[in-house]
C-alpha cells in the first residue's frame, strides 16, 4: 500500500505529465516529492526544508503544471517562481522544459545580467509561469505594464539564499502585489531567524 502511495500514477497527474515523467525515467517520486505533491495539489501553503539534489524543483513543478493544465488566454501570469541566481534559473528551466511537454503552457525566465531586451520580449507571450529573480520582477513591474494580479501560485525557492542576498524588501513588495488568495510555497535549505519571522 505504501509503495502504491509513492507512485506518480496514483497521484492523479495528467497523462502528459505521466508521459514526461516516464520519458525522464522518473519511476518513483523522491522523498520530498512524495510529501509535497499531494499537499500542493490540495492547494495547501507549504514550507519545505530541502536541498539541491533532493528533487525539490520537480516537487513543485509537477503539481504546478498539473494545476495550470493549459495556456490561459487571460492576460496575466498565474504562477511566479522567485529564485536567487542564474545557476538555479538554468536548472529550473531545464526541469520546466522537460515537464511541460505535451501541454501548451508557456513560461518565461527573467534574471539579472544578460539579454535584457530578449527577456522582456518573452513576457509578450503571456507566460503562464514566470521564473525570476525578485530584483528583476520589480524592474518589470516598474518598466512595463506587467502585473502580478493574476498570480495564483507563488513559489519562493532557495529562500535562505534570497534573504542572504538582501532580496527581502523586494519579496515583501512582490507579496503585496499578488492576490491574497494565492497558494504560497517556500523552499529553503535552512530556516534562519529572519526567514522564520518572515
Ligand atoms: P533538484 O533537487 O531539483 O536540483 O533535482 C536533482 C536532480 O534529480 C535533477 O537532475 C532531477 O532531474 C532529478 N530528479 C528529480 N526528481 C526525480 C525522480 N523522481 N526520479 C529521478 N530523478 C529525479
d(CA 177, CA 82): 14
In this prediction, residue 118 carries a pLDDT of 74
What is the 53 CA–ligand 1 centroid distance (Å)?
A: 6
d(CA 57, CA 77): 19
52 lines ligand 1 (CB under 6 A): yes
Q: Taking a C-beta distance cutoff of 8 angstroms, is the pair 110, 117 a contact?
A: no
- The one-character DSSP state at 156 is E
144 lines ligand 1 (CB under 6 A): no
Confidence of residue 151 (pLDDT cuts 50, 70, 90): very high
Please report where in the chains the cell 509503495 appears, as a residue.
3
pTM exceeding 0.85: yes
Predicted confidence (pLDDT) per residue in 26-47, tens digit: 999 999 999 999 999 999 999 9
What is the 132 CA–ligand 1 centroid distance (Å)?
A: 21
β-partners of residue 131 are 81, 109
Confidence of residue 196 (pLDDT cuts 50, 70, 90): very high
Amino acid at each position: 500500500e505504501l509503495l502504491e502511495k509513492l507512485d506518480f500514477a496514483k497521484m492523479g497527474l495528467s497523462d502528459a505529465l505521466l508521459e514526461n515523467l516516464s520519458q525522464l525515467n522518473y519511476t518513483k517520486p523522491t522523498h520530498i516529492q512524495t510529501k509535497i505533491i499531494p499537499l500542493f495539489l490540495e492547494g495547501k501553503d507549504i514550507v519545505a526544508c530541502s536541498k539541491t539534489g533532493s528533487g525539490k524543483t520537480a516537487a513543485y513543478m509537477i503539481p504546478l503544471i498539473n494545476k495550470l493544465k493549459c495556456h490561459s488566454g487571460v492576460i496575466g501570469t498565474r504562477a511566479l517562481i522567485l529564485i536567487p541566481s542564474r545557476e538555479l534559473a538554468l536548472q529550473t528551466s531545464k526541469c520546466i522544459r522537460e515537464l511541460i511537454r505535451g501541454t501548451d503552457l508557456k513560461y518565461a525566465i527573467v534574471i539579472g545580467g544578460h539579454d535584457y531586451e530578449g527577456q522582456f520580449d518573452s513576457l509578450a507571450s503571456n507566460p503562464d509561469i514566470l521564473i525570476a529573480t525578485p530584483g528583476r520582477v520589480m524592474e518589470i513591474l516598474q518598466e512595463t505594464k506587467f502585473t502580478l494580479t493574476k498570480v495564483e501560485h507563488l513559489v519562493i525557492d532557495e529562500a535562505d539564499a534570497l534573504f542572504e542576498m538582501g532580496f527581502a524588501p523586494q519579496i515583501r513588495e512582490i507579496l503585496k502585489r499578488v492576490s491574497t488568495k494565492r497558494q504560497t510555497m517556500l523552499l529553503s535549505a535552512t530556516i534562519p531567524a529572519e526567514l522564520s519571522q518572515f
